[in-house]
Each structure stands twice: as C-alpha cells, then as structure tokens.
C-alpha cells in the first residue's frame, strides 16, 4: 500500500492572495482538489495525508467529506517549515504503507504516469524523485559575481512526487531532526542519510503554483487536457455509432 503526504501548510506569500494558495480555484475547483483527484486515480494509493495550517484543519476535514471517490484521507497540522510539515505527515502515516510519496499540494497537474513511475522506482530502489532536464543555463553567483557554470547536461530541475520506502524516509527524518539539518527537498535528507536516489523523467507540465502567473499557465494546461479528453470521447462515440449503424 502507498501512503501519500501532501504538504499544504504554507502561507503562499509569493502568490500574494492573502490566503493559503492551495485553496485558490483552477477551472472552478480548488488547487488541492485537483491534486487529491490525481492521486485518487491510482489504485495502489490507499491513504492521503493532507498537512495544513492549524486554523484550516477542521474546515478541511469537513469539506473533504463532500469529495467523492477519495481513499482514506487524514488531515494533520503542519509546521513552520515544509520539512517539519512532511515529518508530521509521515508520523501520521500508516505502518502498513511500504512506500510513501511526498507531493507538493501546490502541484495539481501531476500525471498518473509520473505517480506510478515514482512508486515503481521507489519500491525497487528505495528512493526516487520526479525531475525534468534543466532548460536554462544555471550559474553559481556570489556577491553578484559568477563563480561557476555547472555543465547543463548534468542539471535536473527537481519536482514532486518524491517516493521512498517508508522506513528509509523515517530514518532520514530522524537523523535530520537529531542533527538540526534543514533540507530544501525530501530527497536531500535521504541523500544525507547515505541512500541512492533514482531520477524519474517527469513532464514540464507538473509545475508548482507559486506566483499569480502560474495560475494562468495551469488553467491553460487543464483546459487542453479537458479538450483532449473530450476529443477522445467524441472519437469513441463516432466509432460506436459507426459500429451500431452498420447494415451488414
Ligand atoms: N508547505 C508546508 N508547510 C510549510 C511550508 C510549505 O506544508 N511550512 C507546503 C506548501 O503548502 C506547498 C508546498 O509545501 O504545497 C511547497 O511550498 P511553497 O510552494 O513554497 O508554498 P508556500 O510556502 O505556501 O509559498 P510561499 O513560499 O510563497 O509562502
Ligand atoms: Mg514556501
């Protein structure tokens, strides 16, 4: 069984909407709704754990009752840093889960293919992250001066989900906590613990909604998906009509 931790306890400062951005709408539904639905479409996922602000827990629990088709959902309180939010979620996860995925609630465009590929890789190797090859040239800069230009072909932009054998992620978080280490993603804790992290090719569509323009891009991707789905349904209906109207 796979347990999914969805950190959603940020304040969305860069979005400047005055509310937690995961509750903002995309084509009429909250960002968090789209994210939950993406994971609910994967049969292996047995548990969803949403980590959110203390003042949002009760209202979120109530509203999740009205969302059909979700596996078991737990709502827990987050911390002041994303890493602490994830650790709270992990402590609440079922020990029945062999694999745990961590996924930013603010990435509603994650595909079923990516989720399944990260689960398979985490199960086989212990740790796996979704990422895309870096498109830009990236430079190291100190005090406004370039100090190095890492070879672009070796650079990957890391996204989520990140998947781990549950026991490995627990051990890596315990070590980070004991050492007072704060990483910028979950895999960095596991790397530090000494395990190898495998990379799964993701899609450039799996963006993290961070600033207001990301909402426009995300809606465009969602609309295109919807129309692709409608086009497929149309085509299927035509084949159906054709087969049923045959005179032979
Ligand atoms: N997150 C969390 N707990 C925190 C900080 C962030 O659970 N203490 C979550 C966010 O809700 C988000 C994900 O981690 O789904 C990625 O973080 P980010 O994009 O930085 O979101 P925010 O922290 O909300 O945004 P900002 O940094 O602009 O305030
Ligand atoms: Mg943040």
Decide if pLDDT at 227 tops 90: no
Ligand 1 pocket residue status of 82, Cβ below 6 Å: yes
CA of 220 to the centre of ligand 1 (A): 23
Q: Minimum-distance ligand to the CA of 108?
A: 1
Q: What is the pLDDT of residues 121-164, one digit of tens each?
A: 999 999 999 999 999 999 999 999 999 999 999 999 999 999 99
> Do residues 131 and 110 make contact, with C-beta atoms less than 8 angstroms apart?
no
> Tell me, what's the pLDDT at 247?
59
> Tell me, what's the pLDDT at 243?
87
What is the C-alpha to C-alpha distance for residues 189 and 52, in angstroms, rounded to an integer? 22
Which of 6, 10, 211 maximizes ligand 1 atoms within 8 Å of its Cβ, making it the mutation to test the pocket?
10
**pLDDT, averaged across the chain:** 96
Domains of the chain: 2-138+147-208 (3.90.550.10)
Q: What is the pLDDT of residues 13-55, one digit of tens each?
A: 999 999 999 999 999 999 999 999 999 999 999 999 999 999 9
Q: Minimum-distance ligand to the CA of 31?
A: 1
Whether cis (ω within 30° of 0) applies to the bond prior to 61 is no
Please state, as a whole number, how many other Cβ atoms lie within 10 Å of the Cβ of residue 238: 10
Residues 6+ apart with CB under 8 A from 87: 79, 173, 177
* SS3 (DSSP) at 44: coil
Please state, as a whole number, how many other Cβ atoms lie within 10 Å of the Cβ of residue 153: 8
> Tell me, what's the pLDDT at 246?
67
């Amino acid at each position: 069984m796979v347990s999914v931790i969805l950190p959603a306890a940020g304040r969305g400062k860069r979005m400047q909407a005055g509310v937690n951005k995961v509750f903002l709408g995309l084509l009429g539904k909250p960002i968090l709704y789209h994210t939950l639905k993406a994971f609910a479409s994967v049969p292996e996922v047995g548990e969803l754990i949403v980590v959110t602000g203390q003042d949002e827990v009760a209202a979120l629990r109530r509203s999740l009752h009205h969302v059909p088709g979700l596996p078991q959902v737990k709502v827990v309180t987050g911390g002041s840093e994303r890493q602490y939010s994830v650790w709270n979620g992990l402590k609440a996860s079922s020990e029945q889960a062999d694999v745990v995925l961590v996924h930013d609630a603010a990435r509603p465009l994650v595909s079923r293919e990516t989720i399944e590929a990260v689960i398979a890789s985490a199960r086989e190797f212990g740790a796996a992250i979704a990422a895309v090859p870096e498109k830009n040239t990236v430079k190291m800069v100190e005090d406004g001066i370039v100090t190095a230009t890492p070879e672009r072909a070796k650079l990957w932009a890391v996204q989520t989900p990140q998947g781990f054998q549950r026991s490995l992620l627990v051990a890596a978080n315990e070590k980070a906590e004991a050492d007072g280490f704060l990483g910028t993603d979950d895999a960095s804790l596991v790397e530090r613990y000494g395990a190898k992290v495998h990379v799964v090719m993701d899609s450039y569509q799996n963006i993290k909604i961070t600033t207001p323009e990301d909402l426009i891009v995300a809606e465009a991707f969602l609309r295109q998906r919807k129309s692709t789905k409608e086009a497929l349904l149309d085509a299927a209906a035509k084949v159906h009509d054709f087969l049923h109207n045959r005179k032979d």
